[in-house]
């Protein structure tokens, strides 16, 4: 499975809030996936070169219909400069109707501040 997405986050004194939208699909048939929308909260433990964080929130799964769920995870931002960093994260998206349906992902991205 692959989960591509785009999101943003506003931080204030370690606390964060922000949305993301994505597409969750099998690698062999990427068009046969589902959309995700997740408004999340987070907490960043320190604002240094390595900044670990925890995150979680609601997940809306959508395609022909929709399903409610939630997500949780954590990771670290590695700041290459004062403005740009790399993000590494592990996140689990869970469909509420099907509690045994987990979409665990190892994620990476770019962070800006």
Q: Which CATH architecture has domain 2-112?
A: Beta Barrel (2.40)
Question: To the nearest 5 percent, what fractions of the chain are helix, strand and coil?
Answer: 5, 70, 25
Collapse the DSSP code of 27 into the 3-class scheme (helix H, G, I; strand E, B; otherwise coil) and give the result: helix
Q: What's residue 47's pLDDT?
A: 77
Domain map (residue ranges) of the chain: 2-112
Structure confidence by residue, pLDDT tens digits, 61-98: 999 999 999 999 999 999 999 899 999 999 999 998 87
| pLDDT bucket at 112, cuts 50 / 70 / 90 | confident
| Phi, psi for 100 (deg, rounded to 5) | -90, 5
């Amino acid at each position: 499975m692959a989960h591509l997405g785009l999101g943003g986050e506003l931080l204030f004194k370690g606390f964060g809030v922000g949305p993301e939208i994505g597409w969750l699909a099998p690698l062999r048939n990427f068009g046969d996936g589902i959309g995700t929308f997740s408004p999340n909260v987070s907490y960043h433990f320190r604002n240094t070169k390595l900044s670990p964080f925890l995150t979680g929130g609601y997940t809306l799964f959508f395609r022909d219909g929709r399903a409610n769920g939630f997500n949780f995870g954590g990771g670290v931002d590695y700041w290459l400069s004062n403005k740009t960093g790399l993000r590494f994260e592990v996140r689990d998206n869970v469909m509420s109707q099907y509690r045994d349906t987990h979409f665990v992902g190892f994620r990476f991205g770019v962070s800006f501040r």
